[in-house]
A and B are shown apart, each in its own frame.
Chain A
Amino acid sequence: MNNNELSCNVLVVGSGGAGLRAACEACAQGASVILVSKGRVNRSGATLLAGANVSADVMCDGASLWRMGVASADPTDSPERWASDILCEGFFLNRTDLVEQYVSQAPARVEELLKAGANVTAADEGGRQIGVPGSSILDVLFRKASASDRLTVLQDTTLCGILPAADGSAAGALLLDIPGGRLISVRAGAVVLATGGMHGCYTFNSGTTGLCGEGHAAAMRMGARMSLMEMVTFCPDVICAPSRFRGSILPYILQCMGYGHLENRLGEDFLSKYLSPGAVELALGSEWNKLLLSYAMYREAQAGLCDEHGGVRFSLRGLTPARRAELEETLPQLRRGIYAELMALHDRQGGLSVSAAGHYFDGGIAVSADMATSVPGLFAAGECTGGLFGANRVAAATTQMLVQGAQAGQSAARFALSAGPRTPDPAALEQLRAEVLAPFSCTGGESPRRLRSEVSEIISRSAGIVRCERDMLLGLQQLAQTDRPVTLSQKERAANRGWLDYLEARSLRACGEAILRCSLARRESRGVFMRSDYPMTDNDGFLCETVLQNGKVSLHGITQPAAEPGRFDYFDYLERVFLRLSYAPEVTVQ
């Protein structure tokens, strides 16, 4: 055995909150664990950027939070009430077993975070949440994981594919050490995918650069079942220019706290052009703002009323000096570093150019409540999974990664320790190696960078905020045409960015095809999913889970008594469902 061949009980891929939490749990169960991270083990993924690394909401039912001593929490809340809200927020497509697990295990996960000394920001976050910077969550989890001598960490190492045993179960993975250019094959008793979202599918996104759906793509190549892949959440108020600040969601965080307003390039308020008065209230005063504001921004762009960067203006100009001072007091981070520069730029320009960016992926790898995928030995946790939040996530994804991470670590360790060591099929390993190394022996192919950009441009165009059949069919056709040979300018394997572009393009293409196939099958609009050619929410025809497996989509009906039969105007239905939430303010929406 050498450095290029490793073995362990549990291989965890990804070291955001889900991967770190899974690694902690698997070690605690007595498993030997290899934790692989594409970036820095304690500073990568969306977890790092959660809440713009100022204050990410971490949620738990109010009664449990109150018991933990959080004064702003609502002691009359309950896990059941929270679960029923999550179903409404998800427009009834949620996997109820996952929702139940989420609400029932959230208290334990949040409490351990607090006990381990996570840095709770002073901000009063209301009835069900506390605020913690993403980096503090990572610090707490990494400290705990590194305390175990059963853990081995591989940083700057990317997943190329999962290795099947002869019976098709997961038996390890092929990895690439990025700086060294070495391929590493790992034999594992079980594999946990915790690779986060598919942000790279969108040219404009809020994630870190490494989030390219590589876990999703690897699972699909193993024949895993995928759930609700069409559901993509966009974050409005993401900075589009200047490029130095592009992708920052700070304006969104400020808007959620009630600061700032939006206007088009003519200085006009535009929300009321596209949203009813009730929906405007939800867009400005509730966590349903992501989908409503993104929709309004999309329409404003279609109407040609955006600036030269494709954005609208987010501005704090209307704040009184006292409110502005209050803001800076609440968020002292605005007075230092990159955010101080951003605020200075805002003040010079009177605003910031913002637009809606690919942000959170509600759909993903299908899992049961023990976090097992449909492939034996393969588990998944966090944002790379699908189904918990149905058609719209309002509740915290941070809590999702903690709950699911812990569960996946436990299930994978038990599986690995009872099933014993597994052997990857040598033929499958050879085939994967050949595929991964293909661009080194290809001459006359294209630039991998150009191909990767082409892939994300196609997905952005055809699978954006509002979709239609014609664009999606064209998108699928164009994506298929991007499956062309590439040639690398740099021939050495070490630190070869072109090689990574090739690998990422391959995963992004698979994810884009999955998003488009599932989107085509859903002929309605619901939650974050909107179609111009099917604008109604259709509980008669599409109260169902879109399942993708081996390239084929099937629709599986959902029995959900809370969802009334019928077809509804999308916005009417949205307001109607909102009214059923336990936190709906009774007076605002008629």
Chain B
Amino acid sequence: MDELVVTITRGDACARRTCEYRLPALPGASVMDVLDYIYENLDPTLSYFSHEACRQSACGKCLVRVNGKVCLACGCPAGAGPLVLEPWNEHVVRDLLCE
């Protein structure tokens, strides 16, 4: 089975660490879908913007750094990976959620 490998920088602005997740390939998924999959199935402690998300590239709140480039998690295709996800700015609240 195809596998998607996702590395996420976690923690707050002071203490960062990386976590690696392996999940089944998710055809047609966005980075937001990948984060939802991880939260729902692998790690319920993951934080990222999801509490009032439009999921249609309209609200502009779900910014993340994907493989070095800042983009909207909902608008960015996850593809076959691997994905390296980091907070998009320095004002990290927790994990991928930034101010």
Contacts and interface: CB of A to CB of B under 8 A. Distances in A.
Interface of A: 37-40, 43-45, 48-49, 52-53, 134-135, 156, 158, 178-180, 208-210, 241-248, 337-338, 447, 449, 453, 489-490, 492, 494-498, 500
A210 B33 CA distance: 16
B34 to A, nearest CB: 10
Given A241-B28, A244-B74, A497-B51, 8 more contacts: A37-B52, A38-B51, A49-B58, A158-B51, A208-B52, A244-B33, A244-B77, A495-B93
A208 B59 contact: yes
6 contacts: A39-B59, A48-B59, A244-B33, A337-B57, A490-B47, A495-B94
Interface of B: 26-30, 33, 39-40, 44-47, 50-61, 74-75, 77, 93-95, 97, 99
Given A40-B59, A43-B61, A44-B59, A244 B51 contact: no
3 A-B pairs with least C-beta separation: A242-B28, A39-B52, A210-B52
A243 B52 contact: no
Contacts of A210: 51-53
Given A135-B58, A489-B45, A494-B93, A209 B29 contact: no
Nearest to A491: B45
Nearest to B92: A495
Contacts of A209: 50-55
B30 to A, nearest CB: 4
Contacts of A208: 52-55, 59
Contacts of B33: 243-244
Nearest to B78: A244
Contact of A48 (B47, B58, B94): B58
Contact of B55 (A43, A134, A247, A500): A247
Contact of B61 (A40, A246, A494, A496): A40
Contact of A242 (B29, B44, B51, B57): B29
By secondary structure, the B interface counts as loop
A495 B47 contact: yes
B58 A449 contact: no
Contact of A447 (B44, B53, B75, B94): B44
B51 A500 contact: yes
Given A179-B97, A495-B94, A338 B57 contact: yes
A180 B33 CA distance: 25
A536 to B, nearest CB: 39
Contact of B40 (A39, A52, A449, A492): A449
Contacts of B57: 337-338
A444 to B, nearest CB: 15
A134 B46 CA distance: 31
A500 B50 CA distance: 10
Contacts of A39: 51-53, 59, 61
A522 B46 CA distance: 43
A498 B94 contact: no
Contacts of B30: 243-244
A305 B81 CA distance: 34
A440 to B, nearest CB: 14
A158 B50 CA distance: 13
B10 to A, nearest CB: 11
Nearest to B30: A244
A338 B51 contact: no
A52 B56 CA distance: 9
- Quick one: which of B47, B55, B59 has the most chain A CB within 10 A? B59
Given A53-B58, A447-B44, A490-B45, A243 B93 contact: no
